[in-house]
Amino acid sequence: MTTDTKQLRQPATLESHGLEKIKPHLELIAALLSGVLILVGWLLDKNGLGTSAVIIYLMAFIIGGFAKAKEGIEDTIEDKELNVEMLMIFAAIGSAIIGYWTEGAILIFIFALSGALETYTMNKSHKEISALMDLQPEEALRVTNGYSETVAVSQLVVGDLILVKPGERVPSDGTITDGRTNIDQAAITGESVPVTKSVGDEVFAGTVNLRGTITIEITKPSNETLFQKIITLVQSAQSEKSPSQLFIERFEGTYVKVVLAVVALMMFVPHFALGWSWTETFYRAMILLVVASPCALVASIMPATLSAISNGARHGILFKGGVHLENLGNLQAIALDKTGTLTKGKPEVTDVVIRENLQEEDFLLRVASIENYSNHPLATAIVRYAKSRITKELVKPTDMEDISGNGVQAYFGNEFWQVGRASFVGRDEAEQFQNGIALSLANEGKTIVFAKDEHGIAGIITLKDVVREETVKAIEALKKEGIYTVMLTGDGEKTARAIAIESHIDAYIAECLPETKVDEIKKLKEQFGTVAMVGDGINDAPALATASVGIAMGEGTDVALETADVVLMKNNLPRIAEAVKLSKKMNRIIKQNVIFSIVVIMLLISSNFLQFLDLPYGVIGHEGSTILVILNSLRLLRS
């Protein structure tokens, strides 16, 4: 390409960029321009320049009404069904025919303005997607055999190694293979505090590497990243319509036909039946055409739904469609999985009880040194706890042996130690230790690990899948909304009861298999009607699909995310109550809009039949109600 060609093409690029910026506002610009033309036309008419005024009004008709007329005609041809836009076109043309150019132009202006407001709502609802897509890097630095090359993110495949430098965004989901850094995950999880990440930790596309250079092994294709799933979820939510919206759309076609039929009768019947003049008859028919159009009714639902979905996305609650958002407001009961939902999903040490002649640090050093060579989750939790409490380095014991399903044994010098369950160290001795303290701790839902040396039971360590800090707050918030709470868990009776009490859950069902959870959800639906299920694992997927509304934790499995209707991005349980409140507010605003628009239509139609209503007031009353309905819906954006 020559330099001249580059210079010739550059202005075109800038021009197209400028058009892209203006494009979302074209509808509003056209509406406002038609308003200015109406003012000019009115001034010309007042000064006796009627012909010039008509030309200006005609321009206002074309500029203000083009977008809506095009939309109405295209939809009518496509659906083979008349719509509200066509009613407005007929009403404006009818007004002009009987000489009411100003009123017809004002009708077009206000209709165009309400359309621009609706477009604004749509654009606002898409804003979260646009903002997210801007965070997606387009290129990545791929490392192959020591050499690095810049490639498109779409070319990355699972197993590729990429280099991410400080200040750069992570291009795709992966695991760190080299380096240590702080990652800003606010775009994905909403966490305001950066998270420390090192070798073996997972990182997500769209997050920011703040400190060190890291090497990442790609674990997912670019089209399957968590980041991409968020975008897909919001897009699908905005395209899916709620039951109320679908009803209004079905109702609209029939209503338009009825209105046109009544208007046709209105052009003749009053002249013969009531003695109205032909001018008055036609005039009243045109007013009826304007005021009977269900613009406000049609605009009652979609802007409110889109605003609520947009609000939820901004706060980390992703709805897969308006139907789920609407259902959430009618929720009567909610079932919650335990592990990873109510609890952290990882066991943590809660108690350490030792023999009187031992020091806690020495005890933890020996137990942790033995458990350090086991990959069992309980062993990992004990080692993690011990490292945070002792100052000495762990040592390697000798003659270590892992007895599968029972525990681990090893020597520290001449000391023989055993760590494991009661039957492994001696049940009678274990149960009598410290006056049977193990039994009372087990009744609290805790798992007991016994440690024994040559002198008998040296101590016990208890572990528990700890309830999340926010769980009680979330459950109490749900109860305030009048929602019955139930915990479904595969754990045993003791653990389930302890977690249920600690979480303030109304009821619990223990020892649940995946099919049991489905059966319990069905029972709850029979008893309460609308029931939600909250879970994060593969075993929760059938129950999520069975519930009226399935809610998945954002850090859960891919299957749970795919199956659920609502996703909580930061595993933030209190967001469920917020989502319920948002849904109730949306349903309340929709009811307000529908009732208000029907009352206005009935009032305007009655006033017209009684010959109280003139066309200008009919236009203002009708289109003004549409604008008010949309503005009322927009309140959901900032709640």
Active site residues: 337
CA of residue 406 relative to chain centroid, distance: 45
Beta strands at 549-553 and 343-354: parallel, antiparallel or unpaired: unpaired
Cα(407)–Cα(401) distance, integer angstroms: 9
In degrees rounded to 5, what are phi and psi of residue 96? -65, -40
Are the beta carbons of 359 and 274 closer than 8 angstroms?
no
Q: What is the DSSP letter of 394?
A: P
Three-point CA angle 385, 390, 393, nearest 5°: 105
How many other CB atoms sit within 10 Å of the CB of residue 18? Answer: 10
Q: How far apart are CA 575 and CA 277, in angstroms?
A: 63
Read off the amino acid at residue 349. Answer: V
Q: How far is CA 308 from CA 95, 121, 465, in A?
A: 38, 11, 35
Q: Residues 230, 197: contact at Cβ < 8 Å? A: no
Could you tell me the strand order of the sheet in which 333-337 lies? Answer: 317-319, 566-568, 549-553, 531-535, 333-337, 484-488, 507-509
User: Parallel, antiparallel, or unpaired: how do β-strands 343-354 and 456-467 relate?
Assistant: antiparallel
Question: Given the structure tokens 């046709």, which residue do they identify?
Answer: 264
The answer to whether 390 and 365 are in contact (CB under 8 A) is yes
CA dihedral 427→431→434→437, nearest 10 degrees, is 140
CA atoms within 13 A on the CB side of 616: 4
List of residues 6+ apart from 601 with CB closer than 8 A: 291, 292, 294, 296, 297, 622, 625
Neighbouring residues of 103: CB distance < 8 A, sequence distance ≥ 6: 95, 615, 616, 619
Contact present, 549 and 352 (Cβ < 8 Å): no
DSSP strand pairing (484-488 vs 507-509): parallel
HSE (side-chain half, CA atoms, 13 Å) at 557: 13
Beta bridge partners of 403: 407
Nearest-angstrom CA–CA distance, 197 and 179? 9
> In angstroms, rounded to a whole number, what is the distance separating the alpha carbons of residues 95 and 346?
71
Q: Is 571 left (phi over 0), alpha (psi -120 to 50) or beta?
A: left
Sign of CA dihedral 23, 26, 27, 29: positive
Place of tokens 């406002």: 32
Taking the C-alpha atoms of residue 184 and residue 207, their distance in angstroms, rounded to an integer, is: 6
The residue to which tokens 């897909």 are assigned: 232
Contact 349, 381 (CB under 8 A): yes
Whole-angstrom distance, CA of residue 321 vs CA of residue 17: 32
